[in-house]
Amino acid sequence: MENTFGEKKLHIQWFPGHMTKARRMMEANLKLVDVVVELLDARIPRSSANPMLQQLIGSKQKIVVLNKTDMADPDQTRAWLTWLKKKNFTALEVDCQKGRGVKALVTAIQKAGEPTLEKWRKKGVRNRSIRVMIVGIPNVGKSTLINRLLGRNKTVTQNKPGVTRGPQWVILGKGLELLDTPGVLWPKFDNPETGFCLAVTGAIREEVFDQEIAVHILVQRLMKRYPQELCANYKIELTTEDTVETVEEKIALSRGWLQAGGVADKNKTIQMVLRDFKSGKLGAFTLEIAPKTGGEQ
């Protein structure tokens, strides 16, 4: 999708080499499971998905889960869920940090695994568990979800130096076994829009993109879609004359961030806006609007 807003474009310096090992491991582990839980970031459901996954999982059951819903626009989360369901996906929302929606996810996994169990029962196998794996791009909340599913807040397992081990199955109870190692999907950067979405939500490290451009685009979007929240948060007022530059200046001035000569400290402002957006402090925003149901994307 080309940027139609006359916005700057964000270039990502991404070298996917280090993802190759994670990808191979995920592909091997996928073969072992009956149900795949694809975790997406509710703020960017399109950019946090990797279309290759469908190819990799073939006909296995998949559940699409929108995470970080506490930081997303609730109307948009609903709209995305409606659209996903219309596309015949089993889809639900969670907030892994607080644990909201996790019980419903367990129920959905059990339901998704039922056809597999039925197949086994027909073969006379009665005590087979449904095997589940969580997959998603970096930082989408996979480990947090695994810890939630296991009911504790610590990392599940840690590799001890010198001790190699294969995949570990953790019994979740109720006939469910979870692979303790999540599948790491590589983020895709097929256009500048995706790069922008991944950058400002924290899916990629800050060193690989230009923060100034990213925040410029972000402020421009917020001015259009969430102006009230932007003003309330930074105690500023917007006029029709405002540009991204003047808004960034107003934010700096409202904080009293002046450099020598009374010039607004742009750098400090950029860092703060990025941090506030990433953490949800700025408000619950969704960057990618759900396609209208009824029409195609």
Cβ atoms of 241 and 248 within 8 Å: the answer is no
**Residue 205: closest CA among 18, 1, 5:** 18
Residue 92's DSSP bridge partners are 65
Report the nearest approach of ligand G4P to the CB of residue 265 (Å): 25
Nearer to ligand G4P, 46 or 68 (CB): 68
Report the nearest approach of ligand G4P to the CB of residue 134 (Å): 8
Nearer to ligand G4P, 34 or 41 (CB): 41
Report the nearest approach of ligand G4P to the CB of residue 141 (Å): 3
Under the rule (CB under 6 A), what is the footprint of ligand G4P? 67-68, 70-71, 95-97, 136, 138-144, 182, 280
Distance CA 197, CA 41 (A): 10
Report the nearest approach of ligand G4P to the CB of residue 189 (Å): 18
Sign of CA dihedral 37, 38, 40, 45: negative
Task: Please provide the distance, in angstroms rounded to a whole number, between the alpha carbons at the two ends of the chain.
Answer: 11
Report the nearest approach of ligand G4P to the CB of residue 201 (Å): 10
Where are the strands (E) in the chain, listed by range? 35-41, 61-67, 90-93, 130-136, 169-173, 176-179, 183-184
Strand bridging mode 176-179 / 169-173: antiparallel
Cβ atoms of 42 and 71 within 8 Å: the answer is yes
Report the nearest approach of ligand G4P to the CB of residue 133 (Å): 13
Distance CA 42, CA 29 (A): 25
By beta carbon distance, the residue nearest ligand G4P is 141
Nearer to ligand G4P, 74 or 115 (CB): 74
Nearer to ligand G4P, 283 or 291 (CB): 283
Nearer to ligand G4P, 97 or 246 (CB): 97
The helix/strand/coil state of 235 is: coil
Nearer to ligand G4P, 7 or 70 (CB): 70
Residue 293 corresponds to which tokens in the numbers above?
Answer: 């149901």
